[in-house]
């Protein structure tokens, strides 16, 4: 299971690299170019899903009570000391954005998409750092 988390972290790092590359585009370029917009949507979606997968694997690994919903995954990680609780609360709303990307893709607002692209990547990097730290401490 530990290796599965490591593999997913590496995938997430790759997705973040793509998103960072997409940050160079202006709001107007993303708004007007549907291929570019689709790439941003897709890479944000799979990044968030990867984070949720990592959370579920860790919860299973640690034999923690399984959350009832995706929204509870980050909260559960925070409550169990895997993520700092303030950080877990900060990223919890990302699940709602993931749901919009997955289920209401026709209604994704470009301004919210652009804001997540420009300002949400750092949270993903912090997530990787916290999970890597958790894995390192658990190995000792």
From first to last of its 140 residues, the chain has per-residue pLDDT tens of 889 999 999 999 999 999 999 999 999 999 999 999 999 999 999 999 999 999 999 999 999 988 888 889 999 999 999 999 999 999 998 888 888 888 876 678 899 999 999 999 999 999 999 999 999 888 75
Determine the structural domain holding residue 66 and report its residue range.
2-139
**Number of domains making up the chain:** 1
Task: Report the SS3 class of residue 90.
Answer: helix
Integer CA distances (angstroms), 78 to 37, 59, 65, 99, 103, in order:
32, 11, 13, 21, 26
Residue 105: the pLDDT is 61
The domain spanning residue 59 has which CATH number? 1.20.120.580
- Distance, in Å, from the CA atom of 134 to the CA atom of 131, rounded to the nearest integer, reads 5
Q: What is the number of residues in the chain?
A: 140
Backbone angle region of 17, left / alpha / beta, with phi > 0 → left and psi within -120 to 50 → alpha: alpha
Residue 108: the pLDDT is 81
Residue 106: the pLDDT is 64
């Amino acid at each position: 299971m530990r290796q599965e988390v490591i593999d997913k972290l590496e995938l997430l790092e790759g997705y973040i690299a793509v998103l960072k590359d997409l940050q160079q585009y202006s709001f107007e370029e993303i708004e007007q170019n549907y291929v570019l917009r689709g790439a941003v949507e897709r890479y944000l979606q799979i990044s968030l899903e990867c984070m949720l997968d990592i959370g579920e694997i860790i919860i299973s690994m640690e034999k923690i009570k399984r959350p009832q919903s995706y929204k509870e995954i980050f909260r559960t990680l925070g409550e169990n000391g895997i993520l700092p609780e303030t950080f877990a609360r900060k990223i919890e709303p990302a699940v709602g954005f993931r749901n919009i990307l997955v289920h209401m893709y026709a209604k994704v607002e470009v301004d919210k998409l652009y804001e997540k692209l420009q300002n949400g990547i750092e949270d993903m990097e912090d997530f990787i750092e916290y999970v890597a730290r958790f894995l390192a401490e658990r190995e000792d």
